Amino acid sequence: MKPGARAVGVAESYTGDASTLAGVVARRDRAVESVSFGQCTVGGSDATVGVGDVVESLERPDARYVLVAGVALAWYNLLDLDALHERLDRPVLAVTFEASESLEPALRDAFDGDALDARLDAYHALPARRAVRVARDDASVEGRSDVVYVRAVGIGDEHAAEVVRAFTHESGRPEPVRVAREVARAGDALRRGD
């Protein structure tokens, strides 16, 4: 993959009832070129629309991949990766950083009735999560994880792993989502007036 290859990273930060979404366009060589903000509702069902709006507002079709930090934003506001892929017309990769068996027990603890059913349907519709080793033999850093977990739509598993590795540097997190997370935190603090 060329050093100038670009991806959009999307992450969130939330307090209260609103989540600040941030999207960044980052090149493989770590240069950040564009930033955009949006929102979704904490505990709601609008994260897919919010993420799509953030990516579209960047107006960067040259950013060939969309990497999102997780699938359950803003207290289980679940993403529909297929809908994002269709809307954005490029591969969508949801990246998480911790091993876990399933979100289903947490969803059952937090919701019931129609709210639970809708979230379980959305969760079960997601593609399988695959472990991707991101450590480079020459770049082991103490305290970082060498594995991330990826759900991908619009791209094969091997290509998805290649993309995640290409955009991951010393932090153990793909640079577009790492930067988007920091930008979202700053945007959330600004929104709250901190």
Q: pLDDT tens digits for the chain (194 residues)?
A: 888 999 999 999 998 889 999 999 999 999 999 999 999 999 999 999 999 999 999 999 999 999 999 999 999 999 999 999 999 999 999 999 999 889 999 999 999 999 999 999 999 999 999 999 997 554 444 555 689 999 999 999 999 999 999 999 888 899 999 999 999 999 999 988 87
What's the pLDDT at 144?
55
What's the pLDDT at 1?
85
* Burial of residue 143, with CB atoms counted within 10 A of its CB: 0-12 exposed, 13-18 middle, 19 or more buried: exposed
What's the pLDDT at 16?
85
- In 3D space, the residue among 153, 137, 143 whose CA is nearest the CA of residue 173 turns out to be 143
Buried b (16+ CB within 10 A) or exposed e, 8-30: bbbbbbbeeebbbbbbbbbbbee
How far is 183 from 96, CA to CA, in rounded Å?
18
Opening angle at CA 148, ends 144 and 153, nearest 5: 155
CA separation, residue 177 to residues 65, 100, 106, 126 (Å): 12, 20, 24, 20
Buried b (16+ CB within 10 A) or exposed e, 63-80: bebbbbbbbbbbebbbbb
What's the pLDDT at 48?
98
Residue 124, amino acid = H
pTM: 0.93
What's the farthest any 2 CA atoms get from each other in the chain? 51
